[in-house]
Structure 1
Amino acid sequence: MDIQAEKLRLIEWLASLRDSKTISELIAFKKSKETDWWDEISLEEKAEIEEGLVQADRGELVPHKQVMAKYDKWL
């Protein structure tokens, strides 16, 4: 795939768009790529992730199979 040619095709397509809904969706997509997911989650979620990292550093890990067996009834 020639990435430069694809970019040019996208630019041409974008320039020809007349559908405001599609343009709005593209703007939203662009914004979603500009933000870091870490900045979008709650303080509680951040604290739980950080706690999990500390536990992992201490070797307090649960094998994937064991977790899946425990939560299999909800999957």
Structure 2
Amino acid sequence: MNTQILNKKLELIQWLSTLEDKSIIEKLLKFRQEETKDWWESISDEERKSIEKGISQADDKNLKSHSEARKIYEKYL
């Protein structure tokens, strides 16, 4: 593991072990809980439908080449 990351982890562990502020602890727990949620649950119904449509199109071999996709979405890139 990268030594720099390991040092930062140890620094956080040390800080956390001395932390007395309950509100910060609660925020950290909430952050951890949010990070472990499945992203699928946090997107809108419209986004889910769009993804499912794309998967269905791919399953049906209804795909566009990269160059065709670039032409279609060029104005957004």
**TM-score, normalised with respect to structure 1:** 0.63
* Consecutive unaligned residues in structure 1, runs of 5 or more: none
Other-structure match for 1:64: 66
- Whichever residue aligns with residue 9 of structure 1, its letter is E
Aligned length: 73
**TM-score, normalised with respect to structure 2:** 0.62
Identity %: 42
Distance in 1 (CA, whole Å) between partners of 2:8 and 2:73 is 44
Deviations 1:8-56 (CA, angstroms, capped at 9, x unpaired): 332013345689xxx44x5554233111110011222212211211110
Shift of 1:5: 5.9
